Amino acid sequence: MTELWRYPVKSMLGERREHVTLDDRGVLGDRRYAVRASDGKLGSGKNTRRFRRVDGLFGFRAQYDGAVPVVTFPDGRRLRGDDPGFGEQLRDATGHDDVELAKEAGISHFDTAPLHLLTDASVSWLAAELSVDSAGTTTKVDARRARPNLVIATGEPPGPVENDWVGQCATVGPDVVIAFMKLTERCVMVNNAQDDLIQSSEVLRTITAKNNLAFGIYATVVQGGTIRLGDEFRLLDDYAR
């Protein structure tokens, strides 16, 4: 296990962790909050039946103080989600006058599944494919573009090795068992600038052309527990669920 991530607020940047606890819902606290519009749609990088495109959310970063998300705004301001003025400042900063920070209640904030994984082999493969883009510019790629919860060290040569894992189970650390559901179909969010990663349409274009839009894999938690950086990951040939 080389990276562990938690995203307190959906579609905002998250926090890198030394350890995380998993339960049926996934990483404890992950995407527990979202930017929600008055029509009930959740702020995202796309428009769908469930999501509303709210540009600029990657300019915000969220981390927990206990159970409360603390959000760093694009201008560097830090506000707790329970601050009385948070909603007004969020609306001003996003340019959407009907949004608020909302805790999950009843309907999941997840796109497809509670857990998203990526391998170092896939990251290396995409980085090699994107070493120089069509404009002659080097596009930096690392796991942050895909917003995974877990980044797995496989020891495999570069390649989208997760493609072969659908339907299998794996152990992570001493206690956790996960089941792989489906490959992650990417959207324009992988192109977005964040921190030192530049905006680049080549990222999604390459994933589409080379791996049919897939990069990473979704999973469910069969048996929960706590996992830590460096914990062993092992695919299981057979597991009775």
Structural domains counted in the chain: 2
Whether the pTM exceeds 0.75: the reply is yes
Say if CB 7 and CB 189 are below 8 A apart: no
Round to whole Å and give the CA distance between 108 and 46: 17
52 found inside a domain: yes
172 found inside a domain: yes
38 found inside a domain: yes
Say if CB 146 and CB 214 are below 8 A apart: no
Round to whole Å and give the CA distance between 220 and 63: 23
The whole-number pLDDT of residue 137 equals 67
Examine the domain organization and report whether 204 and 140 are in the same domain: yes
Residue 44 φ then ψ, to 5°: -155, -170
Q: Burial, 47: exposed, middle or buried (Cβ in 10 Å; 0-12, 13-18, 19+)? A: exposed
Round to whole Å and give the CA distance between 115 and 25: 8
The whole-number pLDDT of residue 205 equals 93
Which of 43, 71, 103 is the endpoint of a domain? 103
20 found inside a domain: no
**Minimal CA–CA distance to 234: which of 123, 152, 116, 124?**
152
Round to whole Å and give the CA distance between 187 and 200: 13
The whole-number pLDDT of residue 62 equals 98
Examine the domain organization and report whether 98 and 160 are in the same domain: no
Say if CB 129 and CB 209 are below 8 A apart: no
Round to whole Å and give the CA distance between 174 and 58: 34
Examine the domain organization and report whether 50 and 144 are in the same domain: no
**Over the chain (241 residues), what is each successive 10-residue block's mean pLDDT?**
95 96 97 94 87 91 97 97 96 95 89 94 93 66 94 94 96 96 94 89 93 97 97 83 55
DSSP assignment of 8-31 equals SBTTSB-EE-SEEEEETTEETTTT
Helices H / strands E in the chain, number of each: 3, 18
**Minimal CA–CA distance to 165: which of 182, 151, 148, 152?**
182
Examine the domain organization and report whether 74 and 146 are in the same domain: no
Examine the domain organization and report whether 97 and 120 are in the same domain: no
The whole-number pLDDT of residue 1 equals 82
Round to whole Å and give the CA distance between 100 and 120: 36
Round to whole Å and give the CA distance between 170 and 33: 28
25 found inside a domain: no
Examine the domain organization and report whether 122 and 194 are in the same domain: yes
Q: Angle at which helices 120-129 and 202-211 pack, to 10 degrees?
A: 110
CA torsion sign, 77 to 82 to 87 to 90? Answer: positive
Which of 103, 136, 159 is the endpoint of a domain? 103
Examine the domain organization and report whether 53 and 162 are in the same domain: no
**Domain harbouring 172, CATH code:** 2.40.33.20
Examine the domain organization and report whether 54 and 96 are in the same domain: yes
**How far is C-alpha 185 from the chain's CA centre?**
12
135 found inside a domain: yes
Say if CB 139 and CB 107 are below 8 A apart: no
Structure tokens belonging to residue 65: 């103080």
Q: What is the residue range of 81's domain?
A: 7-15+31-103
